[in-house]
Amino acid sequence: MSQTHQLSGYRIYWIVWSILLIVTVGMMFLGTTALTTALILVLLAGMLLKASLIGGYFMHLRFERANLIVIVAVGILATAGILFFLIAPDGLRVLNASQSVNLHVGGGR
Amino acid sequence: MSRTSKDLSIESVWRGGVSPFAVSWRKLMLWLFIITDGLLFAGLLAGYGFVRLASPQWPNRAEIFHLDFIALMTFILITSSATMATAVGAARQGRVQTAFRFVLLTILGGLGFLSCQAYEWSKLISEGARLSSNPWGVPLFSAAFFIITGFHGSHVLTGVIVLSVVAWRALRQRVSPEGVELAGLYWHFVDLVWVFIFTLFYLI
């Protein structure tokens, strides 16, 4: 294999690096503005894009068998998502309960 | 009942002696470790999300952190991931010296990141932030910060130690391409976790 061909084999990593940097700068710009629900969704999409690029190209997951990809993706992302969405309603309930207690305490004075 | 060739094929795969995932046992074990370690961070970040949702107020991150500095830390970690991927590519091609140089660059990136994190921690501690209290009125804010970034920092430190061993072995021409690849897999995982921490803790 020629030297030029060997070096071109690394090019994909630096292309991914460039995309990661561009996305990060974009997310930084959005992160310094007042966050709306739409902007938060864009930031989460940017986060998942960056995670996919790192997992797919740097960790070579894209070139592994589908069963390994599924185990990693379901194992981490789906479990994390289920974990968060199962406890998120409890967080909101705690918030509502503390706010209603504050209202009662404030009203009793 | 007669068994089809597909049944026999599936049975032969799971009986052992072949690799269903087409990776070596060392790589499969590391992937399983990465999944379980990823779930540790998923638990920490989900807990952080719960605390954020349950808190009536939360400190403004832009008043506490210099986001430019956090961006620099992110730049360092992403760049170190690219140098590590290049080292893995070089090792696969049998170019041990090139792999050694890029592993060294990755170690420098890791040390740079750890230095930045040490500076950030010392700055917050000097401002009065502790694990159970802080000047910004929400004690769980600093608890979440120190626990999440502390766990991540310990992973970066572990990665630097692992990479130093790989570099030492490469210098003595005793490193295998798979050894570099496995070290790289762990390093990229550390970068991957930072992507989530950076977005969920610092930006949102």
ipTM at complex level = 0.89
**What pLDDT is recorded for position B12?**
62
With a cut of 70, which residues of chain B have pLDDT below it?
1-17
Pick A20's closest partner by Cβ from B38, B78, B189: B78
Position A7 pLDDT exceeds 60:
no
Residue A63 to chain B, least CA–CA distance (Å): 11
In a domain, B14, yes or no: no
CA–CA distance, B81 with B109 (Å, rounded to integer)? 9
Q: Can you give the pLDDT at residue A2?
A: 43
The boundaries of the domain holding residue B34 are 21-203
Domain-located, residue B12: no
The predicted pLDDT at position A103 comes to 72
Confidence of residue A5 (pLDDT cuts 50, 70, 90): very low
Q: What is the pLDDT of residues A71-103, one digit of tens each?
A: 898 888 888 889 888 888 888 898 888 888 777
Residue B151 within a domain: yes
Q: Which pair of tokens denotes residue B162?
A: 């692992």
Are the Cβ atoms of B192 and A51 closer than 8 angstroms? yes
Question: Model confidence over A18-74: pLDDT tens digits?
Answer: 999 999 999 999 988 888 999 999 999 999 999 999 999 999 999 998 989 998 988
Tell me which chain B residues have a C-beta less than 8 angstroms from the C-beta of A16.
82, 85
Q: Tell me the C-alpha distance between A12 and A77, whole Å.
A: 25
Can you tell me the distance from the alpha carbon of B101 to that of A56, in angstroms, rounded to the nearest whole number? 24
Q: Examine the domain organization and report whether A49 and A74 are in the same domain.
A: no
Same domain, A57 and A103: no
A22 in the same domain as A9: yes
Neighbours of A108 (CB within 10 A): 6
CATH number at residue B170: 1.20.120.80
How many Cβ pairs within 8 Å bridge chains A and B?
A: 144
Interface of B with A in 90-149 (CB under 8 A): 90, 93, 95
B53: tokens are 């949702």
* Closest to B23 measured CA to CA, from A60, A13, A78, A10: A60
Query: How far away is chain A from the Cα of B35, in angstroms, using its nearest Cα?
Result: 6
Classify residue A105 as exposed, middle or buried by CB count within 10 Å of its CB (0-12, 13-18, 19+): exposed
Give the other-Cβ count within 10 Å of A22's Cβ: 10
Number of folded domains in chain B? 1
Domain span holding position A19: 1-63
| Same domain assignment for residues A37 and A5 | yes
Tally of domains in chain A: 2
CB contact under 8 A, A54 and B79: no
Tell me A59's DSSP state.
S
CB atoms within 10 A of CB B133: 14
Mean pLDDT on A2-7: 46
Structure confidence at residue A33 (pLDDT) = 86
A42 and A83 co-located in one domain? no
